[in-house]
Structure 1
Amino acid sequence: MKKIGIIALALFIQQVSAQTNRFVYQVTMKPDAENKTDIKTENTYLDISQEKSIFYSENRIKRDSIMQKAFQGGGGRGNINRDQMESLRTNINYSVEKDKTNQKTYFKDRIGRDIYSYEEDRPLAWKISSETTKLGEYKVQKAETDFAGRKWTAWFTTDLPYQDGPYKFGGLPGLIVKVEDDKGDYSFDLMKNYKIAELPTLNQFGNTLKVKRTDFIKQQQKFKTDPMSFMNQGGGPGGMAAVTRIGGGRGQGGGNQDPADMRKRMEGRVKEEAKKNTNPIELQ
């Protein structure tokens, strides 16, 4: 009996240690360079397991869940509640995955019908300060870095034994509790954390294309000027439906709409979105 009890205890400890920790960050953004009073806020998740971590938008996974249920139900886009999807619009369509085994960071974002994935090739060079303070319940220490055209200040805590943080940030002796750029355009603030059973699987409608970071930037710029060159003619999950998912739009149900009109509307929406996102998190 004693041996069984020891085995049960060992299995319990193993199970607890194998759990995934979810850290909820509030992201504050000023994506429009011409209108800095237009401040966007939304919640994001940093899910950390023993092998890797994933950073993504809370609204993203809620929208993906709705899409998945609609397509599994066989109704396709016709089953999707447009108002519900509109309420879950997100400025953070990307995800960031950090592989602890090989110490690499992967960025994924949709361009048109496909997901583009690249390995981050710019290491973070932190300058750790002796300055400390308290944020919420955590004693934190200051660190600074220049990354992607912005100067960033981070506050990390060794109370949480993860060399990780939101977005592409990490590599400090503890978890990043807060990180913001010196212009006040972007800020990530830890709100709460709790345990979840396992890392979620983010839906990847369309193909996943592995590219170099520089090629991703070129494709992103091309999409802003000629979005329709990235769309296929089909209406499947990775084609026209993907644009509808991004663009939303109320009262634009299926029906026999003229494809030329649909393309024109979609192109207009993509270009309008681009105008409102002239102050990206990465300037270089």
Structure 2
Amino acid sequence: MKQNFLFLLSIIPLQVFAQKADNSYECIYEYTVKTTNAENETYTTILQFDDIHARFADYAAFQLDSLMQTGKATEEQLKKAEECVVKTAFYFDQTTFVNASERTITVYSVIPPNLYSYQEATNGIAWQLTDETDTICGYLCNKATGEYGGRIWNAWFSSEIPSSFGPWKLGGLPGLIMYACDTENIHHFKAITFRQGTTPITAPRIPNSIATSREKFIKAKNHFEENPIANIPKESITDMRVEKGDGGSNSIFINGVQVRLRTNGYVPLEIK
């Protein structure tokens, strides 16, 4: 296998918390964003959680992690899973890991050609509960509103699933968040499958990542995505590679890190 980073947190040794999958649960979400070109992009993401830990990531990365954890996958199987991550048209390039006992969220993301991580507290959203209800994925949900990252979020949580977690960084309610959207109707996380855990929950370890603060990362990330190729410092490039894909689509790697070009434009989840 090529030594690409691809933002595959799974290629680094992992720390396992939930030794048995039957002690954990998984909720698959469709994340939809309305882009600057007024196109809707849909990403497939997954939340793994138990009583204390939660990990949210792109579903393709999760599938690769699951294969690697078995220790029984063939080279061909791993290659196909890695290719899936590379070729996924809409890839959610943040992985968040929550440790409820320490009340922290650790975020792992990428600004090519570097990988970054930062940490913040879990109690960053002051939710206001409402009387509104809805049924999502077969579960009765209550509505709450709160502000995070410069956006107002509406979240529907189900007390039938007594967990304080939710998609991405959204959490802190008395039930699993099954659906969330911002009031501008740009970003949507919707649960489509809830199931027993299929693989242990892991905390990523990335020895070569750059530790930073949330504020610095968001500012740098949002600036970078305005024009990715132009915003990569030329002096930082030691290796550049283009891999040809099917249908004329190419994958670009700078220093082994994949650069994902957003043809429909970029609308950040966090604006401050």
Q: Secondary structure at the match of 2:271?
A: coil
Structure 1 Cα separation of the partners of residues 153 and 108 of structure 2: 22
TM-score by length of 2: 0.72
Overall identity of the aligned pairs, in %: 22
> Structure 1 residues 83, 101: CA separation in 2 closer, same or farther (over 3 Å shift)?
closer
What one-letter code is carried by the residue in structure 2 that aligns with 1:165?
G
TM-score by length of 1: 0.69
- Which runs of structure 2 are paired with 1:138-153 in the superposition (5 Å)? 138-153=139-154
In structure 1, the residue matched to 2:231 is 226
Structure 1 Cα separation of the partners of residues 220 and 205 of structure 2: 22
**What is the Cα deviation at residue 152 of structure 1?**
1.0
In structure 1, the residue matched to 2:95 is 95
Contact 1:112 1:230 in 2 (8 A): no
- Asked if 1:23 is matched to 2:24, the reply is no
In structure 2, the residue matched to 1:109 is 109
Q: Deviations over 1:232-283 (max 9, x none)?
A: 525xxxxx56xx5xxx64389xxxxxxxxx97xx9xx95x926743321112
- Which runs of structure 2 are paired with 1:154-233 in the superposition (5 Å)? 154-195=155-196, 196-200=198-202, 204=206, 207-220=208-221, 221=223, 224=228, 225-229=230-234, 231-233=236-238
**What is the Cα deviation at residue 184 of structure 1?**
1.6
Contact 2:60 2:85 in 1 (8 A): no
**What is the Cα deviation at residue 43 of structure 1?**
1.4
Question: Which structure ranks higher in relative contact order (CA pairs < 8 Å, sequence separation ≥ 6)?
Answer: 2
Task: Give RMSD over aligned pairs.
Answer: 3.9
- What number of residue pairs does the alignment pair up? 238
Q: Which runs of 5+ in 1 are unaligned?
A: 1-13, 74-78, 235-239, 253-261
**What is the Cα deviation at residue 123 of structure 1?**
0.9
Contact 2:32 2:188 in 1 (8 A): yes
Larger CA Rg, structure 1 vs 2: 1
Structure 1 Cα separation of the partners of residues 201 and 23 of structure 2: 9
**What is the Cα deviation at residue 193 of structure 1?**
1.8
What one-letter code is carried by the residue in structure 2 that aligns with 1:216?
F
**What is the Cα deviation at residue 230 of structure 1?**
7.5
What one-letter code is carried by the residue in structure 2 that aligns with 1:125?
A
**Which stretch has the larger CA shift, 178-187 or 223-232?**
223-232
Contact 2:63 2:81 in 1 (8 A): no
What one-letter code is carried by the residue in structure 2 that aligns with 1:159?
E
Question: Which structure features the higher share of helix residues?
Answer: 1
Q: Which runs of 5+ in 2 are unaligned?
A: 1-17
